[in-house]
Amino acid sequence: MYRLHGFCQSGNTFKVAFLLRALAQPWEPVYVDFMHGVTREAGWRETANEMGEAPVLDDGPRRLSQSGLILTHLARKHGAFQGKTQEEQDEVLRWILFDNHKFTSYFATFRFMKAFGPAAPDPAVMAWLRGRIDNAFGIVNKHLAARPFMVGTAPTIADFSLCGYLFFPVEESGYEVETRFPHIHAWRTRLKAVPGWADPYEILPGERIAPRW
Ligand SMILES: N[C@@H](CCC(=O)N[C@@H](CS)C(=O)NCC(=O)O)C(=O)O
Ligand 1 atom at shortest distance from the alpha carbon of 11: 10
Strand segments, DSSP code E, in 60-110 are 62-65
| pLDDT at site 44 | 98
| pLDDT at site 12 | 99
| pLDDT at site 62 | 98
If one residue of 7, 53, 56 were mutated to test the ligand 1 pocket, choosing by the most ligand atoms within 8 A of its CB, it would be 53
| pLDDT at site 77 | 98
| pLDDT at site 68 | 99
Report how far ligand 1's centroid is from the alpha carbon of 56 (Å): 10
DSSP 122: P
Q: Per residue of the chain (213 residues), what is the pLDDT tens digit? A: 999 999 999 999 999 999 999 999 999 999 999 999 999 999 999 999 999 999 999 999 999 999 999 999 999 999 999 999 999 999 999 999 999 999 999 999 999 999 999 999 999 999 999 999 999 999 999 999 999 999 999 999 999 999 999 999 999 999 999 999 999 999 999 999 999 999 999 999 999 999 999
Residue 65's DSSP bridge partners are 56
* CATH code for the part of the protein at 86-192: 1.20.1050.10
Kindly list the domain boundaries of the chain, sorted by start residue: 2-80+197-203, 86-192
Say if CB 93 and CB 81 are below 8 A apart. Answer: no
- Given CATH 3.40.50.720, say whether it is the number of domain 2-80+197-203: no
Rounded to whole angstroms, the Cα distance separating 135 from 141 reads: 10
Q: Which of 51, 66, 126, 141 is nearest to 101 (CA)?
A: 66
| pLDDT at site 210 | 97
Residue 4's DSSP bridge partners are 29, 57
Q: Which residue has a Cα nearest atom 9 of ligand 1?
A: 54
Report how far ligand 1's centroid is from the alpha carbon of 14 (Å): 12
